[in-house]
Structure 1
Amino acid sequence: MSEINESGWSTYRPTKTVWFWSTVGASILTMVVGFTWGGWTTAGGAALMTDQAVRSARAELISDICVHNFASAANATENLKELKSKSSWEQDDFIENGGWAMVTGLSKPVPDAADTCADALVKLKELPSVAEAETSS
């Protein structure tokens, strides 16, 4: 019995080639697990996520201003009925043509702001009064 134990794993000495490929395999496995389940990302992926977050935040901000501008308009109730009667791909054009998504000082419209504004307005059951909108700000 003692001969079997002595000639088993306790006396095994791997070669340099085995050590090298074991290290390479463990490194690759660590990277695969890290990037798929560990939440790791590359610098390029992080930059892309940052750009998307910035664009989304800008669109949300302009959308909030757009909803306020829309509700402040003299014929807001009629405009809301007309907006809801349009198809979803025409709603953002209606918002852009009405000028509610434009902010003074910006040379061009913010991408996705009119679409986000239209979505927020369509979801409203009724328009907030201008006085409510100003006191909640």
Structure 2
Amino acid sequence: MENGESGWSGYRPSKTLWGWSIVGASALTMVLGFTWGGWTTSGRANVMTDIAVRNAKADLVASICVHNFVTATDAEHNLKALQAKSSWQRDDFITEGGWAQIAGIDGTVTNAADTCADQLVKMKELPQSGGDAGVTDS
């Protein structure tokens, strides 16, 4: 070994090797970023936003639906009738009863009647008039 160069200190990579190393490192960074790093494309972000908005709207309408159902006359009878229905008939019962209709929203909100029915079926008994169900705007 001349000039005191030994092992790695004497190694001089070519420009081609440097170029391919940069390309490989960039590709590896992108693969790791999109799989484990949490990166996302703008298209995927838009889809995720649309899903979140739809779910939030359904949850809001379902909460209003539960309130409308519980405060309606004959709520106890309606709850028993709802609980007697099969799971695939419950959303129709809610929609036909009009409890999921919200002023200013035309048509039905996707998944709102299902979510409302699920929340109502889980109730062992209706809330008393002193609780959240009895709150009205003044």
With the length of structure 2 as denominator, give the TM-score of the two structures. Answer: 0.90
Aligned to 2:89: 90
Secondary structure of 2:105 counterpart: coil
90-99 or 77-86, which deviates more: 77-86
What amino acid does structure 2 have at the position aligned with 1:52?
Answer: I
Q: Is the 8 A contact 1:68 1:130 kept in 2?
A: no
1:35 pairs with 2:31: no
Q: What fraction of aligned residue pairs are identical, expressed as a percent?
A: 61
Aligned equivalents of 2:124, 2:136: Cα separation in 1: 18
Aligned to 2:105: 106
- CA, structure 1 residues 107+136, in 2 after alignment: closer, same or farther (shift >3 Å)? closer
Secondary structure of 1:83 counterpart: helix
Structure 1 segments, 4+ long, off by >4 Å, are none
What amino acid does structure 1 have at the position aligned with 2:114?
Answer: D
What amino acid does structure 1 have at the position aligned with 2:31?
Answer: V
1:24 pairs with 2:45: no
Q: CA deviation at 1:55?
A: 0.3
Aligned to 1:74: 73
Query: If each structure's helix is expressed as a fraction of its own residues, which one has the higher value?
Result: 1
Query: What is the CA deviation profile of residues 94-136 of structure 1, one whole-angstrom value per residue up to 9, with x for unaligned ones?
Result: 1001000001122111111101101111111111134412449
With the length of structure 1 as denominator, give the TM-score of the two structures. Answer: 0.90
What amino acid does structure 2 have at the position aligned with 1:86?
Answer: K
Aligned equivalents of 1:22, 1:71: Cα separation in 2: 66
Aligned equivalents of 2:109, 2:71: Cα separation in 1: 20
What amino acid does structure 1 have at the position aligned with 2:88?
Answer: W
Secondary structure of 1:48 counterpart: helix
Q: CA deviation at 1:11?
A: 1.1
Secondary structure of 2:25 counterpart: helix
RMSD between superposed Cα atoms in Å: 1.9
Secondary structure of 2:89 counterpart: helix
